[in-house]
Structure 1
Amino acid sequence: MTAPTNPITPAGYAALKARYDLLLGTERPAIVEIVSWAAGNGDRSENGDYIYGRKRMREIDRELAHLARRLKAARVIDPSEQPDKQRAFFGARVTLADEDDVRKSVTLVGDDEQDAGAGRIGWSSPLARAIKGAAVGDLRSVRLPGGDKEWEVVAIAYD
């Protein structure tokens, strides 16, 4: 069985790598130092610094393991190098219009860098799956919790 790939933009990969480096190089050593100091103070059962430090170290280790898996599976895709810029693929900024001509602009990015408030939707989200491969003028239907909604692709751009 092959490992799942994680498509990601160069900026998204850099952000994941920066978070990993910060945790591994700065935060974890600081917590290790606090835990070592607290352990030397005697009774660990009532030592708040020791208990909190160990808890925080476990959280950091879990996040480091998660980031390591995501970075290992990452497949960096530069949106500017898409061969067919007339269709919506990874990294495309797509402007959509609904039945009432309400327009919405979304950018198709990796799942690790999605931010709906900023208009970046994950590659495996229902809306992204619906508009993959669409060209300007195509109608796409998306199944949402409130029911099906139809969108028309109005514009496609790659930064």
Structure 2
Amino acid sequence: MSRAFVKEDRPDTEPLPDLPVSPHPNYVTPRGLASLRDRLAALQDDLARLRARPDRLDRLPERAAERDIRYVEARLRSAILVPPGDIPAGEVTFGTRVRVADEDGQEQCYEIVGEDEADATLGRIAPHSPLARALLGAHVGDVVEWRRPAGTTSLEVLAIEALPC
């Protein structure tokens, strides 16, 4: 028999190693919590579809789905919901949308949201990101320094509002 057909590594039924979980507190907005729940339901549907396949010789997709489900379940268990009513007015905090202007007058909006909800392309940033750390605690009219690899940028806070539910 050819060595190519001999399986010498671990059994095909062993679970994949868990995905790393962030050491930061898992603050979530209502939208972020709903998104995690939707993601869990979609993963569970995917796993059911994978288990219903007539040809299940390759179990890797099932093991990957199981690993992803364990990750999302852990994120849901550790979620700390921050309702919009708990957000102080007039200050950049978790769960706020902030409009800023840079030195050239270019305006940009950012939302400070949970890690699982963060998406730079949508202007959603995690609270422990360098930009969020620069903005947290600021008020309208404040100028903050954002230290980034390309150099330090000054940002003036123009507006702050709580995120909608």
Distance 1:96 1:73 in 2: 31
Checking the alignment, whether the CA contact within 8 Å between 1:92 and 1:107 is kept in structure 2 is: yes
Distance 1:140 1:64 in 2: 39
Q: Offset of 1:15 from its aligned partner? A: 1.0
The structure that is helix-richer by fraction is 1
Give the structure-1-normalised TM-score. Answer: 0.82
Q: Does 1:145 align with 2:149?
A: yes
Aligned partner letter, 2:82: I
Give structure 1 stretches of 5+ with no counterpart.
39-48
Match for residue 20 of structure 2?
A: none
RMSD: 1.5
Give structure 2 stretches of 5+ with no counterpart.
1-22
Q: Offset of 1:19 from its aligned partner? A: 1.2
Match for residue 154 of structure 1?
A: 158
Which residue of 10, 17, 20 corresponds with 2:37?
A: 17
SS of match in other structure, 1:137: coil
Q: How many residues align?
A: 141
Aligned partner letter, 1:8: V
Give the structure-2-normalised TM-score. Answer: 0.79
SS of match in other structure, 1:111: coil
Distance 2:130 2:111 in 1: 14
Which residue of 28, 48, 59 corresponds with 1:8?
A: 28
Aligned partner letter, 1:98: D
Q: Does 1:32 align with 2:39?
A: no
After TM superposition, the structure 1 = structure 2 runs for residues 67-78 of structure 1, keeping only pairs within 5 Å, are 67-78=72-83
Identity %: 35
